[in-house]
Amino acid sequence: RENLEAFRFLARAELLPERPEKALVKAMPKVTVRMPLEGLLDVEEWKKRQEKRLKELLSLAERSQRKLAAPSFREKAPKEVVAAEEARLKENLEQAERIREALSQIG
């Protein structure tokens, strides 16, 4: 709280008495940031783009899962290729989860 005024000035932020509707929330150890989206962007259009991206990520993750589940892929592919596919799967699932979280916050 000692640096609150400096933060508010630098971030052009303000304290909100309660959680605004249609806001993204990021909780960190000592602060929770809520960014109201209403008026900043077309929320419905943003949701459509996020839902489209979510479908793409889930499709890519499903493809990676099928590839990794195939014994022939694991047997024939170099270890580096298998590791890269596992990393790709993990990243796609993590991105999908972040999008789901953002969409759930918006409602």
58 and 91 together in one domain? yes
Domain that holds residue 60: 41-107
In angstroms, what is the C-alpha Rg of the chain?
Answer: 20
For every residue of 71-101, DSSP letters joined together read HHHHHHS-HHHHHHHHHHHHHHHHHHHHHHH
pLDDT in tens, 64-107: 999 999 999 999 999 999 999 999 999 999 999 988 988 887 76
52 and 27 together in one domain? no
pLDDT at 56 over 60: yes
48 and 68 together in one domain? yes
18 and 67 together in one domain? no
Q: What is the pTM assigned to this prediction?
A: 0.70
pLDDT value for 103: 87
96 and 45 together in one domain? yes
51 and 29 together in one domain? no
Residue range 19-48: average pLDDT? 76
**How many domains does the chain divide into?**
2
pLDDT at 9 over 90: no
Residue 77 sits at φ, ψ, to 5 deg, of: -75, 145
Rounded to whole angstroms, what are the CA distances from 7 to 18, 26, 28, 31?
A: 19, 16, 15, 12
- Other beta carbons within 10 angstroms of residue 22's beta carbon come to 17
Please tell me which residue, 7 or 96, carries the higher pLDDT value.
Answer: 96
